[in-house]
Amino acid sequence: MQENQFKKVITVQEVRLETKKRSELLDITQKINDLIPKDINTGICVVYVPHTTAGITINEGADPNVQHDIIEQFNLLVPWYQSFFRHSEGNSAAHIKASLIGSSVSILVENGQIQLGTWQKIFFTEFDGPRKRKIWASFH
Protein backbone atom coordinates (compact mmCIF):
# COMPACT_ATOMS: atom_id res chain seq x y z
CA MET A 1 0.00 0.00 0.00
CA GLN A 2 1.32 3.43 -0.88
CA GLU A 3 1.96 5.71 2.06
CA ASN A 4 -0.22 8.58 0.81
CA GLN A 5 -3.01 6.45 -0.67
CA PHE A 6 -5.57 7.66 1.89
CA LYS A 7 -6.28 11.28 2.71
CA LYS A 8 -6.47 12.37 6.32
CA VAL A 9 -9.91 12.80 7.84
CA ILE A 10 -11.67 15.97 6.75
CA THR A 11 -13.04 18.01 9.62
CA VAL A 12 -16.43 16.94 10.86
CA GLN A 13 -19.30 18.74 9.19
CA GLU A 14 -22.62 19.41 10.91
CA VAL A 15 -26.15 19.42 9.53
CA ARG A 16 -29.01 20.80 11.60
CA LEU A 17 -32.50 19.31 11.37
CA GLU A 18 -35.87 20.09 12.88
CA THR A 19 -38.25 17.20 13.35
CA LYS A 20 -42.01 17.66 13.36
CA LYS A 21 -43.36 14.47 14.99
CA ARG A 22 -42.65 12.26 17.99
CA SER A 23 -41.43 9.50 15.67
CA GLU A 24 -40.36 9.94 12.07
CA LEU A 25 -37.77 9.00 9.50
CA LEU A 26 -36.25 11.95 7.63
CA ASP A 27 -34.49 11.31 4.32
CA ILE A 28 -31.11 13.05 4.65
CA THR A 29 -29.46 11.40 1.63
CA GLN A 30 -29.07 14.55 -0.44
CA LYS A 31 -27.90 16.58 2.57
CA ILE A 32 -25.09 14.06 3.14
CA ASN A 33 -24.18 13.84 -0.54
CA ASP A 34 -23.95 17.65 -0.70
CA LEU A 35 -21.33 17.61 2.09
CA ILE A 36 -18.77 15.56 0.15
CA PRO A 37 -15.66 17.70 -0.26
CA LYS A 38 -14.61 18.32 -3.86
CA ASP A 39 -11.23 16.66 -3.30
CA ILE A 40 -12.78 13.35 -2.14
CA ASN A 41 -13.25 11.02 -5.10
CA THR A 42 -13.14 7.64 -3.35
CA GLY A 43 -13.49 6.97 0.35
CA ILE A 44 -15.87 6.44 3.23
CA CYS A 45 -18.43 8.76 4.76
CA VAL A 46 -19.28 8.25 8.42
CA VAL A 47 -22.57 9.78 9.55
CA TYR A 48 -23.08 10.06 13.30
CA VAL A 49 -26.04 11.17 15.42
CA PRO A 50 -25.00 12.74 18.77
CA HIS A 51 -28.37 12.14 20.44
CA THR A 52 -29.65 9.36 22.72
CA THR A 53 -33.25 9.37 21.47
CA ALA A 54 -32.55 9.48 17.73
CA GLY A 55 -30.54 7.39 15.32
CA ILE A 56 -29.44 6.82 11.74
CA THR A 57 -30.23 4.01 9.33
CA ILE A 58 -30.18 3.05 5.67
CA ASN A 59 -33.35 1.57 4.23
CA GLU A 60 -35.76 1.77 1.32
CA GLY A 61 -36.67 5.29 0.31
CA ALA A 62 -38.83 4.68 -2.78
CA ASP A 63 -42.03 3.77 -0.95
CA PRO A 64 -42.95 6.00 2.04
CA ASN A 65 -45.04 3.14 3.41
CA VAL A 66 -41.79 1.44 4.44
CA GLN A 67 -41.00 4.39 6.73
CA HIS A 68 -44.51 4.20 8.16
CA ASP A 69 -44.21 0.46 8.72
CA ILE A 70 -40.84 0.81 10.48
CA ILE A 71 -42.23 3.40 12.89
CA GLU A 72 -45.39 1.40 13.59
CA GLN A 73 -43.43 -1.81 14.21
CA PHE A 74 -41.12 0.00 16.61
CA ASN A 75 -44.18 1.33 18.44
CA LEU A 76 -45.47 -2.23 18.81
CA LEU A 77 -42.09 -3.58 19.94
CA VAL A 78 -41.41 -0.72 22.37
CA PRO A 79 -44.63 1.02 23.48
CA TRP A 80 -44.23 4.56 24.78
CA TYR A 81 -45.44 3.67 28.28
CA GLN A 82 -44.49 0.59 30.29
CA SER A 83 -45.17 0.17 34.00
CA PHE A 84 -41.57 -0.91 34.61
CA PHE A 85 -39.90 2.14 32.96
CA ARG A 86 -38.00 4.12 35.61
CA HIS A 87 -36.33 6.89 33.61
CA SER A 88 -37.57 10.16 35.14
CA GLU A 89 -37.88 12.03 31.82
CA GLY A 90 -40.54 9.58 30.63
CA ASN A 91 -38.89 8.84 27.28
CA SER A 92 -37.40 5.40 27.90
CA ALA A 93 -39.07 4.05 24.76
CA ALA A 94 -37.20 6.61 22.65
CA HIS A 95 -33.86 5.61 24.21
CA ILE A 96 -34.54 1.93 23.54
CA LYS A 97 -35.57 2.53 19.91
CA ALA A 98 -32.49 4.68 19.29
CA SER A 99 -30.29 1.92 20.73
CA LEU A 100 -31.87 -0.62 18.41
CA ILE A 101 -31.32 1.58 15.32
CA GLY A 102 -27.82 2.77 16.22
CA SER A 103 -26.02 6.09 16.14
CA SER A 104 -23.86 5.81 13.01
CA VAL A 105 -23.57 4.43 9.50
CA SER A 106 -20.64 4.18 7.09
CA ILE A 107 -21.24 4.73 3.39
CA LEU A 108 -18.85 4.22 0.48
CA VAL A 109 -17.97 7.22 -1.68
CA GLU A 110 -17.07 6.62 -5.34
CA ASN A 111 -16.61 9.25 -8.06
CA GLY A 112 -17.43 11.95 -5.52
CA GLN A 113 -20.89 10.51 -4.73
CA ILE A 114 -22.21 8.36 -1.90
CA GLN A 115 -22.90 4.81 -3.08
CA LEU A 116 -26.25 3.32 -2.15
CA GLY A 117 -28.36 0.52 -3.58
CA THR A 118 -31.15 1.27 -6.03
CA TRP A 119 -33.83 1.78 -3.38
CA GLN A 120 -31.64 2.85 -0.46
CA LYS A 121 -31.74 6.21 1.31
CA ILE A 122 -30.12 7.49 4.50
CA PHE A 123 -32.65 8.26 7.23
CA PHE A 124 -32.38 10.25 10.42
CA THR A 125 -34.69 8.46 12.86
CA GLU A 126 -36.50 10.59 15.42
CA PHE A 127 -38.07 8.88 18.44
CA ASP A 128 -38.60 11.79 20.86
CA GLY A 129 -39.68 14.75 18.78
CA PRO A 130 -40.42 17.26 17.73
CA ARG A 131 -36.94 18.60 18.37
CA LYS A 132 -34.04 20.52 16.90
CA ARG A 133 -31.37 17.97 16.05
CA LYS A 134 -27.99 17.67 14.39
CA ILE A 135 -25.96 15.08 12.57
CA TRP A 136 -22.22 14.98 12.02
CA ALA A 137 -20.47 13.64 8.92
CA SER A 138 -16.82 13.02 8.19
CA PHE A 139 -15.16 11.83 5.01
CA HIS A 140 -12.07 9.64 4.89
Cβ burial 64-98 (10 Å sphere, 16+ → b, else e) = eebbeebbeebeeebebeeeeeeeeeebbbbbbbb
The pLDDT of residue 1 is: 42
pLDDT tens digit at each of 140 positions of the chain: 455 555 566 678 999 999 999 999 999 999 999 999 988 899 999 999 999 999 999 999 999 999 999 999 999 999 988 888 888 888 899 999 999 999 999 999 999 999 999 999 999 999 999 999 999 999 98
The pLDDT of residue 85 is: 81
The pLDDT of residue 22 is: 96
Tell me if 139 sits within 8 A of 44, measured CB to CB. Answer: yes
As assigned by CATH, the class of the 13-139 domain is: mainly beta
Distance between CA atoms of 128 and 93, rounded to whole angstroms?
A: 9
Beta strands in the chain (DSSP E): 13-18, 24-27, 43-48, 54-60, 104-110, 113-114, 120-126, 132-139
